[in-house]
Amino acid sequence: MNLSFESRSSNEAFARCAVAAFLTQLDPTIGELNDIKTAVSEAVTNCVVHAYKDTIGKVYINVKIEENSLIIIRVRDTGCGIENIKKAMEPLFTTAPSDERAGLGFAVMESFTDRLKVSSKVGRGTTVTFQKRLSCRVGNG
Amino acid sequence: MRISEGEEEITAYLSGDIDHHSARDMRESIDAVVQMKKPSLLRLDFSGVKFMDSSGIGLIMGRYRLMALYGGIVRVVNVPDELERMMNLSGLNALDIIERRGVKLEAAK
């Protein structure tokens, strides 16, 4: 499933709900769905607040359903990129305290999914990929 | 969101989804009342919250700081079970401002 939309904060709810709607075919638990919605919300907010700071750009979401109900979600932007990924991923580190960002985005994504990968190039953009295996109550297909 | 005002305390009943987009309006509404009334206690009631990302944590921490300016305190009450993980992850537990069911924190210090 592919989705692209403008990096407006009003689209944050749309993005997480669209991903959740797509995944209902796997009959996930409420908790699993909530975890994924939370991670998507954090990733998209990063695009709005950081990648396209003071501007509007495109956010791209790709969701793949692999075997055994493994979900792979990729959130990509072509914004400013991250200079120091390690630093950016430290809990409580934020470059936007005035916007009351808690500095927990990546920590939440890490905690609410099974695996998180961040790749970024300054001036080119950032791609965040996370995986989660659902308990799977329906047959795979 | 509904805000009830007493003599010394204010309660904000947060509802719906709290994300980066919705947190801004909530923050502005709460702060307007807090700055006018300067209460000694601000209660943030989460019973009506259906979804929250880390923006909710930013909202709590920001109000904590604002209330501290006036010498007041913040209490986070009626947190739904689904939000517990986010609350625990946030480090807010160290501030001792979240009231768990059946555990009343001291009203003011």
**Interface ipTM:** 0.93
Residue ranges of E strands in chain A: 2-6, 58-66, 70-77, 115-121, 125-133
CA dihedral (A101, B12, B21, B16) positive or negative:
positive
Q: Residue A108 falls within a domain, yes or no?
A: yes
Left if phi > 0, otherwise alpha if psi is -120 to 50, otherwise beta: which for A60?
beta
Contacts of B23 in chain A (CB under 8 A): 100
Note down the domain range covering A42: 2-133
A10: which chain B residues are within 8 Å (Cβ-Cβ)? 21
The pLDDT of residue A130 is above 50: yes
Is there a contact between B53 and A92 if contact means CB atoms under 8 Å apart?
Answer: no
DSSP E strands in A22-114: the ranges are: 58-66, 70-77
Is position A76 annotated as part of the catalytic site?
no
* Beta bridge mates, B65: none
Tell me, yes or no, if A48 comes closer than 8 A to chain B by beta carbon.
yes
Count how many pairs of residues, chain A against chain B, have C-beta atoms within 8 Å: 69
Q: How many domains does chain A have?
A: 1
Please check whether residue A10 lies inside any domain of the structure: yes
Query: Does the residue A47 lie in any domain?
Result: yes
**Structure-block tokens of residue B38:** 């300067």
Q: Which residues of B59-85 are buried (b: 16+ CB within 10 A; e: fewer)?
A: bbbbbbebbeeeebbbbbbebeebbeb
Nearest-by-CA chain A residue for B62: A100
- Is pLDDT at A140 greater than 90 in this prediction? no
- B14: part of which helix (H) or strand (E)? strand B9-18
Query: Per-residue pLDDT tens for B27-83?
Result: 999 999 999 999 999 999 999 999 999 999 999 999 999 999 989 999 999 999 999
The CATH code of the domain that includes A68 is 3.30.565.10
To the query of whether residue A124 is one of the catalytic residues in this protein, the response is no
Q: For the domain with range B2-95, which CATH number is right: 3.30.750.24, 3.30.2350.10, 3.20.20.80, 3.40.720.10?
A: 3.30.750.24
Quick one: tokens of A67? 């075997």
